């Protein structure tokens, strides 16, 4: 199936066509007169199926990006490609809105459409930075910090064992040098009666509290520790759990209830002194707006290659800053998406931390030519053009998902 030629009347006719031709953009830009010639994807089989995105230009500059993992993304990005080929990549805002509008009939307010658009948007920041010879954070308004604090998403083979979690926390702090961690709380306790109803019985809550107690006591003031619930619990159970954890030094409790019902999220957050973080399953600034304005969270956690891209995350951070809310970016990406998030973190005042979810994957950093991306729990933001990373194409080729083929040469 050639998705580039898939017919869609909504995309073919829209009163709000933002193409350069329709907008009458024909002024000479000198050396900045560059056109996009192609967009391509490959899926790398990492600890997630990472969708890497490449934007090619007639100047010879190539930009690398990443869309949030999962199925259907290459097809959607192929569908989007005709809307950006022939356009000037420097018009990042306009091209982002152009893709949103062109895909409006296919649901570009959330979901896979936004993740696909995000992947192209990240690649645009990389290629534009290379064309202008500036790092990507400069395109977002400049720098607040040289490096972003990284929190390590921790796991153990016995993830429901409080002592095993405490031992892993101590190892990650002492041996790996992180001072910020996260553990999962949506783990089996052995006390479950029904896994479908989202209800937590008292023994289940006590089991989760024991994990929190053991981990936070083991690391003490050497590290901040957050705990993730992955949208698993009912409203009443989430309130009871959050209140039970008020006795401990919890950095934040993440996604205690499903993301669809804003009113329930607001009630849970405002019922407890335990800080609540949400946002990874909400799309664009429009989706995050009520969470921020109605104080339904304490910390916002957008995922850059999923929420709409780098500039969209910058907009979310600006709105959050009006309400004095810090930003802890969710992240399960390869080095490409992770570094894009780090550039955002460098450019916003309210950046709290950036997630790292691949510490058990031995070749994560080998996907790019640069070394020592994370040192002592921080990710330095390069001064090199664009994202400042160079894909190691041999490593990409070694880890392609089944059936995938490599990018074309630059």
Q: What is the mean pLDDT of residues 362-384?
A: 97
CATH of the domain at 117: 3.30.390.10
Q: Coil, strand or helix: which one is 151?
A: strand
pLDDT value at residue 6:
76
- Say yes or no: 128 and 158 in one domain: no
Lowest mean pLDDT among 19-23, 81-85, 97-101, 253-257: 19-23
- What is the rounded distance in angstroms from the CA atom of residue 56 to the CA atom of residue 85? 9
Q: What is the mean pLDDT of residues 122-143?
A: 98
- Write out the residue range of the structural domain in which residue 151 sits: 141-387
pLDDT value at residue 358:
96
- Say yes or no: 160 and 80 in one domain: no
pLDDT value at residue 10:
65
Dihedral over Cα of 363, 230, 111, 150: its sign: negative
- What is the rounded distance in angstroms from the CA atom of residue 73 to the CA atom of residue 155? 28
CB atoms inside a 10 Å sphere around CB 222: 12
Q: What is the mean pLDDT of residues 48-64?
A: 98
- What is the rounded distance in angstroms from the CA atom of residue 355 to the CA atom of residue 101? 31
The pLDDT-based confidence of 12 (bands split at 50, 70, 90) is: low
pLDDT value at residue 1:
74
pLDDT at 119 over 80: yes
- What is the rounded distance in angstroms from the CA atom of residue 178 to the CA atom of residue 357? 13
Backbone angles phi, psi at 296, to 5 degrees: -95, 10
CATH of the domain at 377: 3.20.20.120
Nearest to 277 by CA among 257, 294, 299: 299
Q: What is the mean pLDDT of residues 258-262?
A: 95
For residue 274, being part of any structural domain is answered with yes
CA separation, residue 66 to residues 128, 205, 354 (Å): 15, 37, 16
Q: What is the mean pLDDT of residues 38-50?
A: 97
pLDDT at 20 over 90: no
Structural domain total, the chain: 2
The pLDDT-based confidence of 11 (bands split at 50, 70, 90) is: low
What is the per-residue pLDDT across 194-221, written as a single tens digit (0 to 9) for each?
Answer: 989 999 999 999 999 999 999 999 999 9
The mean pLDDT value of the chain amounts to: 95
pLDDT at 359 over 80: yes
The pLDDT-based confidence of 106 (bands split at 50, 70, 90) is: confident
Dihedral over Cα of 133, 139, 143, 147: its sign: negative
pLDDT at 150 over 90: yes
- Say yes or no: 275 and 151 in one domain: yes
The pLDDT-based confidence of 3 (bands split at 50, 70, 90) is: confident
Residue 353 forms beta bridges with which residues? 328
What is the per-residue pLDDT across 284-317, written as a single tens digit (0 to 9) for each?
Answer: 999 999 999 999 999 999 999 999 999 999 999 9
Q: What is the mean pLDDT of residues 318-326?
A: 98
pLDDT value at residue 107:
81
- Say yes or no: 160 and 281 in one domain: yes
What is the per-residue pLDDT across 154-185, written as a single tens digit (0 to 9) for each?
Answer: 999 999 999 999 999 999 999 999 999 999 99
Lowest mean pLDDT among 108-112, 242-246, 329-333: 108-112
Residue 276 forms beta bridges with which residues? 253
For residue 205, being part of any structural domain is answered with yes
pLDDT at 9 over 80: no
pLDDT value at residue 172:
98
| Tokens encoding 80 | 């989007």
Query: Distance between alpha carbon 55 and the CA centroid of its chain, in Å?
Result: 20
Conformation bin of residue 62: beta by default, left when phi > 0, alpha when psi is -120 to 50: beta
- Say yes or no: 168 and 316 in one domain: yes
pLDDT value at residue 86:
97
For residue 410, being part of any structural domain is answered with no
- Say yes or no: 100 and 179 in one domain: no
């Amino acid at each position: 199936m050639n998705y580039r030629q898939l017919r869609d009347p909504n995309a073919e006719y829209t009163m709000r066509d933002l193409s350069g031709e329709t907008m009458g953009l024909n002024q000479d830009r000198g050396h900045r007169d560059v056109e996009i010639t192609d967009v391509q994807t490959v899926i790398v089989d990492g600890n997630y199926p990472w969708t890497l995105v490449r934007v090619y230009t007639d100047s010879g500059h190539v930009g690398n990006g990443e869309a949030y993992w999962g199925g259907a993304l290459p097809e959607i990005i192929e569908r989007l490609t005709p809307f950006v080929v022939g356009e000037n990549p420097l018009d990042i805002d306009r091209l982002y809105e152009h893709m949103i509008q062109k895909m409006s009939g296919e649901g570009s307010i959330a979901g896979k459409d936004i993740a696909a658009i995000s992947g192209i948007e990240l690649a645009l920041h990389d290629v534009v930075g290379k064309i202008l010879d500036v790092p990507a954070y400069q395109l977002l308004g400049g720098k607040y910090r040289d490096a972003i604090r990284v929190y390590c998403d921790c796991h153990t083979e016995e993830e429901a064992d409080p002592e095993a979690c405490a031992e892993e926390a101590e190892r990650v702090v002492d041996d790996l040098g992180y001072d910020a961690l996260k553990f999962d709380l949506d783990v089996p306790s052995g006390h479950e009666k029904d896994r479908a109803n989202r209800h937590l019985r008292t023994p289940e809550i006590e089991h989760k509290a024991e994990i929190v107690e053991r981990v936070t006591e083991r690391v003490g003031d050497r590290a901040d520790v957050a705990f993730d619930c992955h949208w698993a619990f009912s409203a009443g159970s989430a309130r009871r759990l959050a209140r039970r954890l008020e006795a401990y030094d919890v950095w934040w409790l993440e996604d205690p209830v499903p993301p669809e019902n804003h009113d329930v999220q607001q009630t849970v957050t405002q019922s407890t002194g335990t800080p609540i973080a949400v946002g990874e399953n909400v799309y664009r600034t429009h989706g995050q707006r009520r969470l921020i304005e109605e104080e339904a969270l304490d910390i916002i956690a957008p995922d850059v290659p999923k929420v709409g891209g780098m500039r969209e995350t910058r907009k979310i951070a600006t709105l959050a800053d009006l309400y004095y809310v810090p930003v802890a970016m969710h992240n399960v990406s390869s080095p490409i998406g992770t570094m894009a998030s780090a550039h955002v973190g460098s450019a916003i005042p309210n950046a709290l931390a950036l997630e790292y979810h691949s510490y058990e994957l031995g070749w994560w950093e080998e996907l790019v030519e640069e070394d020592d991306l994370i040192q002592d729990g921080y990710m330095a933001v390069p001064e090199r053009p664009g994202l400042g990373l160079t894909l190691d194409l041999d490593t990409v080729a070694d880890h392609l998902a089944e059936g995938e083929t490599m990018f074309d040469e630059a």
